[in-house]
Structure 1
Amino acid sequence: MDTHLLGRIGAALVGAIAGGLVGLVTTFTHRQLPPWGLIAGLLVIAALLAGLRLAVAGRLVATVAALAVLAAVGVLALPVGSGSVLVADDELGWTWLVATAVLCVGAVAWPSPRARPERPGTDA
């Protein structure tokens, strides 16, 4: 196998683990000290995804991390057998779910800072 491909697979795996852990921790803490826990959780997710977009060329690693965040949040939003949930069916819970999804989609869809074409007639 090509070492470049192995590097991309490894980076995607690290992104998936980081995204899953961030989604797990922030879902557990989003209800702590409302609304600051929610805001802090969204800032942590934004920092992770923005950092991955800036540090790694391409969208693959950030996309995998965003999907892992969404998977962790989605799984933890499901009710367990006893009927208890971590993401309640209230304004704070719905804000958490929708804002996390919008943030993940926005971070992945944001134009790449490396893909800016140079304008003709300007010196580098």
Structure 2
Amino acid sequence: MSAGAERRSLGSRIGTYAIAFAIGVVYGTVATIGHRHAIEVGGVSIPWGVVAGLVGVAALLIGIRLVAGGRGAATAAAAGIVATVAVLALPGPGGSVLVADGVVGMVWAIGPAIISVLVVAWPSLPTRDARRA
């Protein structure tokens, strides 16, 4: 492989990681803002926001891992999500918080990190060509 091809490959990977990180930051922000949504059904509050947020984290990371073809981009997106959730869980300058203390807040604060570890650490499946041989 020529030096020019290696530079393009490195630049392409860095660009992919940067885009994946930015997507993770955006998703982490949107899902943190919406994780407290709930619906009342028969007097029982169902926290659909945190469920949708966690399913979205898993879907986003699995999709990025499948499309990018490796763990690197999924790790970058996971870092963006987890860092954003961690920052937004801290109290703001006026003392207000987006991630309130309670079960839903704790699930949201810890859930994306656990999902990220599982998706990134999951073993790679063999390709179709390797299975046929």
TM-score w.r.t. length of structure 2: 0.84
1:90 aligned residue: 102
Query: Which has the higher Rg, Structure 1 or Structure 2?
Result: 2
Counterparts of 2:110 and 2:21, CA distance in 1: 20
Letter in 1 for 2:75: T
In structure 2, runs of 5+ residues without a counterpart are 39-45
- The answer as to 2:53 corresponding to 1:41 is yes
What value does the CA root-mean-square deviation take over the aligned residues? 1.9
Higher strand share goes to which structure?
Answer: 2
Counterparts of 2:126 and 2:101, CA distance in 1: 41
1:111 aligned residue: 123
SS in 2 for 1:113: coil
Counterparts of 1:115 and 1:101, CA distance in 2: 28
2:24 aligned residue: 19
Larger mean CA deviation between 96-105 and 70-79 belongs to 96-105
2:12 aligned residue: 7
How much identity, in percent, do the aligned residues show? 45
- Residues matched between the structures, number: 121
Runs of 4+, deviation exceeding 3 Å: 114-119
TM-score w.r.t. length of structure 1: 0.89
In structure 1, runs of 5+ residues without a counterpart are none
Structure 1 residues 29-79: Cα deviation after superposition (integer angstroms, max 9, x where no partner):
000124111000111111110001111122111001000000100000000
